[in-house]
A and B are shown apart, each in its own frame.
Chain A
Amino acid sequence: MLTVTLYIGFAAVIAAMAMNLYRLLAGPTAEDRVLALDTLYINAIALILLVSIQFADRIYFEAALLIAMMGFVGTIALAKYLGRGALMD
């Protein structure tokens, strides 16, 4: 049962990432692209969690934790750059 639901989960997350990729490439505004990147890293965390369950290996979970912390910093930096035209005031 878990195998089938894992495959459904993989399919859903990969489809979601494809949608984010379309928004990342199509824009139309720079904010849309940053938001798409933000969603893309959150979906990458979801994918890594599913992989962690699939392979029964906790190392993958550590990678998800790292992405969660680094992705936020990247989004904030980009949003601040867009809003002010400079990283630091």
Chain B
Amino acid sequence: MSEAITAVFILIGAFFVLVGSLGLLRFPDFFTRLHGPTKATTLGLASLLAAFVAYAAGTESGVTVREFLITFFLFITAPVSAFMLGRSALRRRVDSVAPRPAAIDDDEAEDDPA
């Protein structure tokens, strides 16, 4: 039973990890490329961790809190790093398929008086 659940979660996780990286490879500009890894890959890794938890439940040592730590940590850090990268790309005026929002420039002037 534990083995079957592990197998199903591994398949789901492998699919999403692959889709996330395919998005990173194929999307046209940086801001669209940001979507693939931050959503699909995070979900894929969460699935693989669920597979690991299901697997650990079938072993002698059983499930501990540490199995959930990576999921917890990743769900906090993935949006933060995506936000930091997106803000840095906006500041540096990286090429985008969408027009640059006007409100950004006001915000920047306020932020950096120099």
Contacts and interface: CB of A to CB of B under 8 A. Distances in A.
Contact of A9 (B20, B48, B88): B48
Per DSSP, are chain B's interface residues mostly helix, strand or loop, or mixed?
A: helix
Given A2-B3, A49-B48, A20 B24 contact: yes
A62 B64 CA distance: 13
Interface residues of A, number: 46
Interface in B61-104: 61, 66-67, 69-70, 73-74, 77-78, 80-81, 84-85, 87-89, 91-92, 94-95
21 contacts: A5-B10, A8-B11, A8-B14, A9-B11, A22-B25, A29-B92, A31-B85, A35-B30, A38-B37, A39-B20, A39-B24, A42-B42, A46-B45, A46-B48, A49-B51, A52-B52, A53-B51, A53-B55, A68-B77, A75-B84, A76-B84
Given A2-B6, A9-B13, A39-B36, 4 more contacts: A45-B70, A45-B74, A52-B52, A61-B67
